């Protein structure tokens, strides 16, 4: 029987992430004060902390699962200790991506998480460096923590580093952003024709740009907690569905969300003539696609006996969010 509500669970995990981020992020005087301040400006602006919470929830799911293997976490506290560095590293990577995404050369946005974007406050150069700093510190953290001489744990860490790097790089988030720029006609390369994305192309782009890191968040938690190959594969399929649902809802909110709720500029996708789920399918069909994705996420967990945990609560949270 669960000892807390989902809201309590989210708040507890979010607080653990906030404390750890504060402890692990480089600070002055070792880090130049301006850079330290800029990195913290974006990282401490708030946000849902969806990705790190998903990492910790996936680790918890392994604890409660039947069929644990030797070396797997045996308590929620142990699972969190093993998965927390990966959870924080993923949030560092996510924050870096938002900083760069907001730059004038990319989406040129002036509002993020309810306040001016980093480049508006500190300038483009410092914003680029702050993003670079967060990205590279993420991998330093993944390599360093949790500190242990256990060879098996070291192998888990290597698996997680590989998975997160792939999700964040040219085959994942960065690659998806490149497709998005080209599809939006903002690459300004002479002789290149702006591609037209159909439904499958749109899904493939978002599976890279948004879904890959969400998917890696869940997988990282499962691996660090010592999940079996079957359990990790099930959580991987779950994460793929949740990543797609997140993007569909994001597209819907860009159409009908209020800026004061979103904490960012609404309506930019339509203004920039970007391909989105509502533009291709309409709002109602997009909502149906999101609901179907949640159902598929539940099926993926059920296949490996991983239904009795907070992962499905997170999926329902994603589809029902207003910001």
Give a yes or no: residue 293 inside a domain: no
Give a yes or no: residue 294 inside a domain: no
Give a yes or no: residue 281 inside a domain: no
Predicted pLDDT of residue 270:
57
Tally of domains within the chain: 1
Give a yes or no: residue 56 inside a domain: yes
| Alpha carbon distances (Å) from 130 to 58, 205, 303 | 29, 26, 42
- pLDDT in 10s for each residue of the chain, 323 residues: 445 799 999 999 999 999 999 999 999 999 999 999 999 999 998 788 999 999 999 999 999 886 667 778 889 999 999 999 999 999 999 999 999 999 999 989 999 888 999 999 999 999 999 999 999 999 999 999 999 999 999 999 999 999 999 999 999 999 999 998 888 777 777 777 777 888 999 999 999 999 999 999 999 999 999 999 999 999 999 999 999 999 999 999 989 866 665 555 655 665 566 789 999 999 999 999 999 999 999 999 999 989 878 999 999 999 999 87
Give a yes or no: residue 306 inside a domain: no
CATH number of the domain encompassing residue 92: 1.10.600.10
Give a yes or no: residue 299 inside a domain: no
pTM: 0.92
Q: Which structural domain range is residue 57 located in?
A: 6-227
Give a yes or no: residue 84 inside a domain: yes
The β-bridge relationship of strands 115-116 and 111-112 is antiparallel
Give a yes or no: residue 244 inside a domain: no
Predicted pLDDT of residue 267:
58
């Amino acid at each position: 029987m669960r000892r807390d509500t989902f809201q309590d669970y989210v708040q507890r995990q979010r607080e653990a992430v906030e404390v750890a981020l504060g402890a692990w992020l480089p600070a002055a005087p070792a880090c130049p004060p301006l850079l330290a301040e800029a990195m913290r400006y974006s990282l401490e602006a708030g946000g849902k902390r969806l990705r790190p919470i998903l990492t910790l929830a996936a680790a918890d799911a392994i604890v409660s699962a039947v069929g644990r293997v030797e070396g797997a976490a045996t308590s929620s506290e142990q699972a969190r200790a093993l998965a927390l560095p990966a959870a924080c590293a993923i949030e560092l990577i996510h924050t870096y991506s938002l900083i760069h995404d907001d730059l004038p050369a990319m989406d040129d946005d002036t509002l993020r998480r309810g306040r001016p974007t980093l480049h508006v406050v500190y300038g483009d150069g410092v914003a680029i460096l702050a993003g670079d700093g967060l990205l590279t510190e993420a991998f330093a953290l993944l390599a360093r923590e949790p500190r242990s001489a256990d060879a098996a744990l070291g192998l888990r860490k290597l698996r997680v580093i590989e998975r997160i790097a792939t999700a964040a790089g040219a085959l994942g988030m960065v690659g998806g952003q490149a497709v998005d720029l080209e599809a939006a006609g903002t690459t300004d390369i002479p002789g290149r024709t702006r591609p037209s994305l159909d439904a499958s192309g749109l899904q493939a782009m978002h599976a890279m740009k948004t879904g890959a890191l969400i998917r890696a968040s869940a997988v990282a938690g499962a691996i660090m907690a010592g999940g079996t190959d079957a359990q990790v594969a099930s959580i991987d399929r779950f994460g793929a569905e949740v990543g797609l649902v997140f993007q569909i809802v994001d597209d819907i909110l860009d159409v009908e969300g209020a800026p004061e709720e979103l904490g960012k500029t609404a309506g930019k996708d339509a203004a920039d003539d970007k391909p989105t789920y509502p533009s291709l399918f309409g709002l109602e069909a997009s909502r149906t696609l999101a609901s179907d994705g949640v159902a598929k996420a539940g099926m993926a967990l059920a296949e490996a006996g991983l239904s009795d945990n907070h992962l499905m609560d997170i999926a329902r949270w994603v589809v029902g969010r207003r910001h």
